[in-house]
Structure 1
Amino acid sequence: MKENFSNLNLRPPLFYNWEIGIRFELGVEWNREYYYENSQYLKGVYHRALTLFNSLHSAEEEILVVIDVNDFGDRKSYLQKGRLFSPYVYEKSVLYKIEHTVTPYIFPEDNEDGKYKTHRFILKCKTSDIKYISMLKAICHQDLGIKPSIFHSIYFLNIERKTIFNVYDDRGCDLLAASPESIRYLYNQFNDWILDYDRDEIDMVFK
């Protein structure tokens, strides 16, 4: 990552931390009444998230799955690396590849006394090693009261394509790249899915 995304601050909101990227809208025509499993709203969210993911990652490509767990001193049970990944891998042997680092809280402006920390777990694997469909759905559930859900920030780094993919919740997802050309096909193919709020900034990158 340091080679392709030098000086990138890997934290939300990801789109605003790098000059080359696209912010896609996942949830369309939001309504609180749609907050139930298999609603038409959620089916649309799943469709967009999975379509974008599959367009970025082939089964045999090597990826890094990065999970950030913010530690405020009250969530120790979440710091077991196997527990984080185990529901979302096909073979448990893959879990031995997980790397764990601890850094000061990724939002230093909210950590003046230095007590908070961020635990970063990194799994290097192939796309086919992970149950990414259920993982992405769980990420989308985080604010909807639907289980299973994942509240941590998760980033998918494609080593060969030099991209970073992050679904932040049911509203949308961010895609970063080392160069515009590597994701221009997604800009063209899914242009209608781009979040209008950031469209002018995105268009400047690709036009």
Structure 2
Amino acid sequence: METNFPNLSLRPALFYSWDIGIRFELGVEWKIEYDFENSPYLKGVYKRAINLFKSLHLDDEEIFVVANVNDYGYKKVNIFYPFVRDKDVLYKLKHKVIPYVFPEDDEEGRYITHRFMLRCKTSDIRYVPLLKAICNQDMGIRPSIFHDIFFININRETIFHVYDDRGCDLLAKSAETIRDIYNTYNEWILDYDREEIDKVFR
């Protein structure tokens, strides 16, 4: 992490913290009546998130799955358990306590962040239900995950973060690493940031 992304704080919004990245829009044409399981809106969100993930992570590639659990009165969590195929992989799970990742929101210094890190292969993770759970977090639909989950691809030197049903960030050490993603999924780029993103790949 420090080698490929020096001084990067692993927290939202990643796109605005690194020079090389893409911000994709996942949810389009939302309507309040679409707040139900497998609605047309959510099917579109899932499709984009899953397609982007598959394009970035081959089954045999080594990845870190990192979860930030912000502690406002910490209770034990089993974030990864439902989403790991072989439970023996969980013996590789690392945990450390770090300063609260949003210090600007904690002037009194009351909070901390628990960071869980799992090194595995992409194929070890049931990433389809995991991505869906992340996308569900603001929709009132279960299963849902409210913690920030980051996928760090060791081989490609990328970081992928779906922040909720609205969108996701993709960071890379080199623009060339993700140029194919930029070209293939160009229509999904968030228009608000498109001008800055286009500059990176010209």
**What TM-score, normalized by structure 2, do the two folds share?**
0.98
Q: Distance in 2 between matches of 1:20 and 1:162?
A: 12
**For 1:140-155, what aligned pairs fall within 5 Å after superposition?**
140-155=135-150
In structure 1, the residue matched to 2:200 is 205
Q: Tell me what 2:75 maps to.
A: 76
- Residue 2 of structure 2 corresponds to residue 15 of structure 1: no
Q: 93, 97, 101: which is aligned to 1:102?
A: 97
Size of the aligned set, in residue pairs, is 202
CA distance in 2 between partners of 1:112 and 1:39 (Å): 40
* Partner Cα separation in structure 1 for residue 19 and residue 33 of structure 2: 36
Structure 1 stretches of at least 4 aligned residues deviating more than 6 Å after TM superposition:
none
2:132 corresponding residue in structure 1: 137
Superposed CA deviations along residues 122-147 of structure 1, whole A, max 9, x for unmatched, are 00000000100000000000000000
**CA offsets per residue over residues 100-123 of structure 1, 9 Å max, x none?**
110111011112222200000000
Q: CA deviation at 1:76?
A: 1.3
CA distance in 2 between counterparts of 1:39 and 1:109 reads 36
Unaligned runs of 5+ in 2: none
CA drift at 1:188? 0.6
Question: Shift of the alpha carbon at 1:33?
Answer: 0.8
Q: 190, 195, 207: which one pairs with 2:185?
A: 190
Give distance in 2, aligned partners of 1:86 and 1:9: 25
Q: Give the TM-score of the pair, scaled to structure 1.
A: 0.96
> How big is the alpha-carbon RMSD for the aligned residues of Structure 1 and Structure 2?
0.7
- Between the aligned residues of both structures, percent identity stands at 66
Where do 5+ consecutive residues of structure 1 fail to align? none
Q: Which one of the candidate residues 158, 167, 180 is aligned to 1:172?
A: 167
Aligned partners of 2:67, 2:41: CA distance in 1, in Å?
A: 26
Q: Secondary structure at the match of 2:70?
A: strand
Match runs of 1:54-65 below 5 Å: 54-65=54-65
- Residues in 2 aligned to 1:111 and 1:71: alpha-carbon distance in whole angstroms: 11
Partner of 1:2: 2
